Amino acid sequence: MKFCSTRGGESGKSFSDVIIKGYAEDGGLYVPEEIPSISEETLAKWKTMSYPDLCAAILDLFDSDRLLGSIEQSRERFRNCYANFNHPEVLKVVEFPGDGTMIAELFHGPTLAFKDLALFGVAMIADELLKRRQRKCLAVVATSGDTGSSAARAVATMENGSIIVLFPKNFITKTQERQMTTISSENVHIVEGEGNSDELDVVLKDLTRDENLQQTHNIAIFNSINVARIVLQIPYFFYSYFRVIESKETGLDHAVTFVLPTGGGGNLAGGVFAKAMGLPIRFVICNNSNAAMHNIIQTSTLSKSADAADVQKTLACAMDIKVPYNLERVFYVLSKKDTKSVKEVMELFEAAENSFVATDEVILQTMKRCWVKNREIICPHTATAVAFYHHLLDNRVDFQQQFGSIVCVATASPAKFPEAVEKAKIDAKVSHPVIEALDNLPELNKTLMKRDENWLEFMKKFISKHNL
């Protein structure tokens, strides 16, 4: 399998060439040149696989360099990689009692968010590549929430990598911040920036475009610009799909709609690849009130008015994004790799997918309703998806025809968002051993990057000062 840029400027790259990269040199995003199509026979085989084994099978289609070795070795590596997750199956699909709400719980990783699923795998694969090449890398991540702690924890497992996490001051929860600032690993560095996550993304992009820095430090990008992350976000759509059809006792042709809490669209990009590989799935894209993807779908214009500076702070803060950069990959796939005709892509996109917006008020109502009706507590991101399901129920929409079975994706554990749980007036305390353990850990040094500083210079100095 070869990889190319969505903008056509690069092609014929191997998985090893692109795995630690962010943007392609022409400013596009890397994508596989072909999308493997999965036979029904293979699907039937995959249906009975454990999650780690499924990851090995899917990685094998994209990594012609076989960085993890033979398929048996690769399975073993993935089993180890996911061994410290908080659920023996790695992820699971549950049905809430009462109203048939189905939830794909993707948040059983060490930082309790879905990003662990791909990031721990990417760190493992990247480490293997660096070992072979006898190189080190420096990962830089700007985060609006969960990417930071997940990437930091994942990179902490690497022998050949270190990481700087940039997080937007006041845009993430206390728990999310503590999940990063309490990591005691010499290769993990945390920087707090006075800006929002789209603004931090800009300095990140500038850093990676700096030839000098790139050469000397081997800069790695592990946010969802990274194509290896998207590849490792494919398996959970297959795995969840299989669990849904099992519980519905239907066959491999049964349509399933994934209702996705969406920010940058990385999750969606993984799903769109799974769909293009032949999985009969559809999507409903759920936004918080920043409504980036929703606005694009509804108006089919990539609005320039989406000024990075006016991102609203919401309860579902990991989705506080106005520029959902993974759209480019989504367009690429949906346009059948037509890199030119944006209009056509827009029309395809518009026709193919549905979208929904949940304001903070709706998020809180939805959390409360799940507690009252189902005795379940969900996180504010997950609530954007469940709100859509409630919307269908309340309007008595006969959704079988349009959506098949509906599964809402739970992207984070509610235990990460006690503030929102309290705001939703849920009369129970959420807790998780992973979060409770944070209380006993000292907060390690984090560095402040002020608004009036030259951020690129700041980052360069930081890198040389810490000898990264």
Ligand X SMILES: *Cc1c(COP(=O)(O)O)cnc(C)c1O
**Interface residues toward ligand X, by CB under 6 A:** 113, 115, 145-146, 224, 261-268, 318-319, 381, 411-412
Is the Cβ of residue 121 or residue 264 nearer to ligand X in the bound state? 264
Buried/exposed 292-322: b ≥16 CB within 10 Å, e otherwise: bbbbbbeeeeeeeebebeebeebbbbbbbbb
Using an 8 Å Cβ cutoff, are 290 and 348 in contact?
no
Smallest gap from residue 217 Cβ to ligand X (A): 26
Smallest gap from residue 171 Cβ to ligand X (A): 13
Smallest gap from residue 229 Cβ to ligand X (A): 9
With both helix axes pointing from N to C terminus, report the angle between 115-133 and 71-81 in degrees, rounded to the nearest 10: 130
Smallest gap from residue 263 Cβ to ligand X (A): 3
Is the Cβ of residue 43 or residue 412 nearer to ligand X in the bound state? 412
Is the Cβ of residue 43 or residue 103 nearer to ligand X in the bound state? 103
Chain centroid offset of residue 207 CA: 22
Smallest gap from residue 3 Cβ to ligand X (A): 20
Phi/psi for 30 (5° steps) reads -75, 140
The dihedral built from the CA positions of residue 61, 65, 69 and 70, taken in this order, carries a sign that is: positive
Residues 40 and 50: their CA atoms lie apart, in Å, by 18
Is the Cβ of residue 52 or residue 261 nearer to ligand X in the bound state? 261
Is the Cβ of residue 21 or residue 416 nearer to ligand X in the bound state? 416
Q: Which amino acid is at 229?
A: R
Q: What angle do CA 84, 269, 325 make, to 5 degrees?
A: 105
Smallest gap from residue 237 Cβ to ligand X (A): 13
Is the Cβ of residue 16 or residue 196 nearer to ligand X in the bound state? 196
Is the Cβ of residue 193 or residue 271 nearer to ligand X in the bound state? 271
Is the Cβ of residue 298 or residue 400 nearer to ligand X in the bound state? 298
Smallest gap from residue 443 Cβ to ligand X (A): 22
Smallest gap from residue 45 Cβ to ligand X (A): 28
Q: Is 460 exposed, middle or buried, given 0-12, 13-18 or 19+ CB atoms closer than 10 A?
A: middle
Smallest gap from residue 132 Cβ to ligand X (A): 29
Is the Cβ of residue 74 or residue 197 nearer to ligand X in the bound state? 197
